């Protein structure tokens, strides 16, 4: 499986695709807006798992879901909702704007929690807990 740097590039790529769909499509592809948000979240998770836990081989969604449940439980509920929204977007014929808005909220929460934060002490915190893992400073 690719390294976290590859996942970092893919999450940026997917976010770009989502932005393009929102701006250029007159909201004709609500299903793909949700799918691009979901796969952006997948790459945030895979990057985090590689950086923090050295896990760089995930073969399917079930395996990733299990890692999220055991290693990143803070996002489990939000990720599971986004996962189900993306399944509905791929296989259900009717997608509403309210579902897109839920997906945006879920993605925003996952992004906020899994975006690395550098503390003034220089330590890079991979999980946003509000406190530096190294020195205890409030972030």
Please write the tens of the pLDDT for every residue from 75-101. Answer: 999 999 999 999 999 998 789 999 999
Whole-number Å distance between alpha carbons of 62 and 79: 12
Residues 41-74 as b/e (b if ≥16 CB within 10 A, e otherwise) read: bbbbbbbbbbbeeebbebeeeeebbebbeebbeb
Residue 120 falls inside a structural domain: no
Mean pLDDT over 67-79 rounds to 96
Q: For residue 62, what are its two tokens? A: 């079930």
Q: Which residues touch 35 (CB under 8 Å, ≥6 apart)?
A: 86, 89, 90
Residue 46 falls inside a structural domain: yes
Express the helix, strand and coil content of the chain in percent, nearest 5 each.
65, 5, 30
Name the more confident of 36 and 7.
36
Question: How far, in Å, are 12, 32, 33 from residue 85 at the CA level?
Answer: 21, 11, 11
Mean pLDDT over 8-27 rounds to 83
Count of CA atoms in the C-beta half-sphere (13 A) of 82: 29
pLDDT of res. 48: 92
Residue 35 falls inside a structural domain: yes
Residue 16 falls inside a structural domain: yes
Q: For residue 122, what are its two tokens? A: 């220089």
Residue 118 falls inside a structural domain: no
pLDDT of res. 109: 96
Mean pLDDT over 45-61 rounds to 91
Residue 134 falls inside a structural domain: no
Mean pLDDT over 36-54 rounds to 93
Percent of the chain, pLDDT > 70? 99
- The yes-or-no verdict on residue 16 having pLDDT over 90 is no
Residue 91 falls inside a structural domain: yes
Domain ranges, residue 104:
4-113
Mean pLDDT over 3-26 rounds to 82
CATH assignment at residue 87: 1.20.120
**Domains held by the chain: number:** 1
Residue 14 falls inside a structural domain: yes
pLDDT of res. 25: 66
């Amino acid at each position: 499986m690719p390294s976290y740097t590859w996942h970092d590039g893919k999450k940026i790529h997917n976010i770009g695709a989502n932005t393009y769909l929102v701006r250029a499509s007159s909201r004709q592809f609500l299903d793909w807006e949700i799918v691009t948000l979901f796969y952006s979240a997948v790459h945030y998770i895979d990057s985090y798992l590689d950086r923090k836990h050295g896990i760089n081989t995930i073969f399917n969604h079930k395996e990733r879901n299990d890692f999220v449940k055991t290693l990143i439980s803070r996002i489990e509920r939000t990720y599971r909702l986004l996962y189900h929204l993306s399944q509905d977007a791929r296989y259900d014929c009717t997608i509403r704007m309210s579902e897109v808005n839920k997906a945006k909220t879920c993605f925003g929460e996952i992004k906020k929690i899994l975006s690395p934060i550098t503390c003034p002490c220089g330590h890079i915190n991979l999980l946003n807990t509000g406190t530096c893992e190294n020195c205890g400073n409030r972030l």
